[in-house]
C-alpha cells in the first residue's frame, strides 16, 4: 500500500509491539525496499514490560538508523519532489504523565532529569538545517494542550481528568521556538476513542504561535467498514517551505483507494506558497 500511496516520508509514533523486534526489523527492510525515508520513536509498550531493558535494546537495534529518540534525522525523499524534512525525536519510551522514566528506560539510558531530556531535544533541533521544515516526533504529546479528558493528551482512563502530556517536551518546544519556526509536532499514545464510551478525542490543534499538534493514535488502524471493506488508517500531512499545508486522517482500502477522510487543516489558498510539498504518512 505504501508503494501505491508514495508518501515522501513515513513517521511512526511508537508502540510497535510489546517488545518483540519483528516489526521494527520489518520496518527497516521496508524502508530499504521502497527507498522510503522512515523514522520511528519508541513508546512505553515497546519496553515489553521488561525492567532489564533488554527488550527495549532489541527494538532499538532492530530499528537501527530509523530510531530517532533524542536525535535528528534528516529525510531526503528519493523522488526529490520536496526539499527534505528535519525530524527530531523526543524522549523514547514515554507513558506521559509529566516526566517519568520507567525501569526499562532507566536501565537503557540511565538516570535523566526533566531538564536534561529537554536539553537533548533542543540540541538535536539546533543541528537541523534552518531552511528545512522541522517536525518533532514524540510518543506522547507535550503538556499544555488541555486538561479535559477529550484534549489531545487528556487523561481519560482515571478520574479526575488531567493534562497527561510530557513536560520535558513542552519545555523543549518553548526553547526551540525562540530560535526557529516549528510547524508540526506529531505524537500518539492517547487513543482517539475515549474510555467508557465518552466520545472522541480532539486529535488536532494549532496554538497561537502557529505550531500544529497532530495525535495520530487511531486505534485500531485496521478495520472493516459497514460495507465489508477492509481499511487501513494513516494520518496524512503535507508541508512546504512556509509550513503546514494540509492535515487529515485517511482510511484507505487495501488497493490504495481513499474511502474516507477527516480533513483537519487546510491552509487558505491565498496564503499557500507555490513550492514543492512533502507528504507524510503517520
Residue from 209, 239, 235, 264 nearest 86 by CA: 239
List Cβ neighbours of 226 (8 Å cut-off, separation of 6 or more): none
Grid cell at residue 110: 540511565
Task: Report the range of poorest mean pLDDT among 30-44, 158-172, 261-275.
Answer: 261-275
pLDDT at position 282 is: 59
Could you tell me if 190 and 149 are in contact, meaning their C-beta atoms sit under 8 angstroms apart?
Answer: no
Residue 269 has pLDDT above 70, yes or no: no
- DSSP-assigned letter for residue 193: B
Residue 273 has pLDDT above 60, yes or no: no
For the beta sheet containing 212-215, the strands, ordered from the edge strand earlier in sequence to the opposite edge, are 72-75, 85-89, 134-137, 184-187, 212-215, 204-206
Grid cell at residue 88: 527530531
Residue from 206, 180, 192 nearest 264 by CA: 206
pLDDT at position 275 is: 40
pLDDT at position 257 is: 96
SS3 267: coil
Grid cell at residue 229: 471493506
* pLDDT per residue as tens digits for the range 17-27: 888 899 999 99
Q: Which residues pair with 260 in a beta bridge?
A: 251
Residue 277 has pLDDT above 90, yes or no: no
Interior angle at CA 240, CA 172 and CA 12, nearest 5: 55
Place of cell 480532539: 202
Q: What's phi and psi for 236, nearest 5 deg?
A: -115, 130
Mean pLDDT throughout 118-145?
A: 96
* pLDDT per residue as tens digits for the range 235-259: 999 998 889 999 999 999 999 999 9
Name the percent of the chain lying above pLDDT 90.
Answer: 87
Grid cell at residue 189: 499514545
Residue 271 has pLDDT above 70, yes or no: no
Query: Computed over its alpha carbons, how large is the radius of gyration of the chain?
Result: 18
Domain ranges of the chain: 2-281
Mean pLDDT throughout 192-216?
A: 96
Q: How confident is the model at residue 83 (pLDDT cuts 50, 70, 90)?
A: low
Q: How confident is the model at residue 272 (pLDDT cuts 50, 70, 90)?
A: very low
Q: What is the Cα–Cα distance from 131 to 128, expressed in whole angstroms? A: 9
pLDDT at position 270 is: 46
Q: What is the Cα–Cα distance from 122 to 107, expressed in whole angstroms? A: 23
Q: What is the Cα–Cα distance from 152 to 13, expressed in whole angstroms? A: 14
Residue 78 has pLDDT above 70, yes or no: no
pLDDT at position 242 is: 86
pLDDT at position 76 is: 83
Determine the straight-line distance between the first and last CA of the chain, rounded to whole angstroms: 14
User: 2-281 sits in which CATH class?
Assistant: alpha beta
pLDDT at position 77 is: 72
Tell me the angle at which helices 114-126 and 167-176 cross, rounded to the nearest 10 degrees. 40
List Cβ neighbours of 34 (8 Å cut-off, separation of 6 or more): 2, 3
Mean pLDDT throughout 86-107?
A: 97
Other beta carbons within 10 angstroms of residue 181's beta carbon come to 14
Q: How confident is the model at residue 233 (pLDDT cuts 50, 70, 90)?
A: very high
**Whole-number mean pLDDT of the chain?**
92
Q: What is the Cα–Cα distance from 238 to 264, expressed in whole angstroms? A: 12
Q: Characterize the bridge pairing of strands 134-137 and 85-89.
A: parallel
Q: How confident is the model at residue 280 (pLDDT cuts 50, 70, 90)?
A: low
3-state percent breakdown (helix, strand, coil) of the chain, nearest 5? 25, 25, 50
Could you tell me if 267 and 245 are in contact, meaning their C-beta atoms sit under 8 angstroms apart?
Answer: yes
Q: How confident is the model at residue 80 (pLDDT cuts 50, 70, 90)?
A: low
Amino acid at each position: 500500500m505504501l508503494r501505491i500511496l508514495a508518501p515522501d516520508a513515513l513517521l511512526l509514533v511508537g508502540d510497535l509491539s510489546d517488545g518483540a523486534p519483528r516489526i521494527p526489523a520489518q520496518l527497516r527492510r521496508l524502508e530499504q525496499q521502497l527507498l522510503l525515508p522512515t523514522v520511528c520513536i519508541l513508546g512505553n509498550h515497546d519496553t515489553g514490560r521488561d525492567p532489564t531493558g533488554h527488550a527495549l535494546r532489541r527494538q532499538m537495534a532492530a530499528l537501527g538508523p530509523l530510531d530517532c529518540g533524542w536525535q535528528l534525522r534528516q529525510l531526503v525523499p528519493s523522488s526529490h519532489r520536496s526539499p527534505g524534512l528535519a525530524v527530531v525525536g523526543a524522549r523514547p519510551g514515554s507513558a506521559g504523565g509529566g516526566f517519568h522514566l520507567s525501569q526499562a528506560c532507566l536501565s537503557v539510558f540511565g538516570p535523566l532529569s526533566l531538564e536534561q531530556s529537554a536539553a537533548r531535544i533542543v540540541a538535536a533541533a539546533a543541528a537541523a538545517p534552518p531552511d528545512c521544515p522541522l517536525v518533532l516526533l514524540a510518543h506522547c504529546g507535550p503538556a499544555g494542550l488541555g486538561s479535559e479528558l477529550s484534549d489531545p493528551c487528556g487523561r481519560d482512563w482515571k478520574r479526575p481528568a488531567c493534562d497527561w502530556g510530557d513536560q520535558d517536551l513542552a519545555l523543549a518546544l518553548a526553547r526551540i521556538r525562540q530560535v526557529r519556526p516549528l510547524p508540526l509536532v506529531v505524537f500518539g499514545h492517547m487513543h482517539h476513542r475515549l474510555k467508557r464510551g465518552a466520545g472522541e478525542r480532539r486529535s488536532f490543534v494549532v496554538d497561537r504561535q502557529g505550531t500544529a499538534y497532530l495525535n495520530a493514535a487511531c486505534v485500531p488502524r485496521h478495520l472493516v467498514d459497514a460495507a465489508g471493506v477492509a481499511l487501513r488508517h494513516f494520518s496524512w500531512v503535507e508541508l512546504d517551505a512556509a509550513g503546514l499545508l494540509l492535515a487529515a486522517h485517511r482510511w484507505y482500502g487495501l488497493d490504495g483507494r481513499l474511502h474516507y477522510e477527516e480533513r483537519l487543516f487546510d491552509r487558505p489558498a491565498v496564503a499557500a506558497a507555490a513550492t514543492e510539498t512533502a507528504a507524510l504518512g503517520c
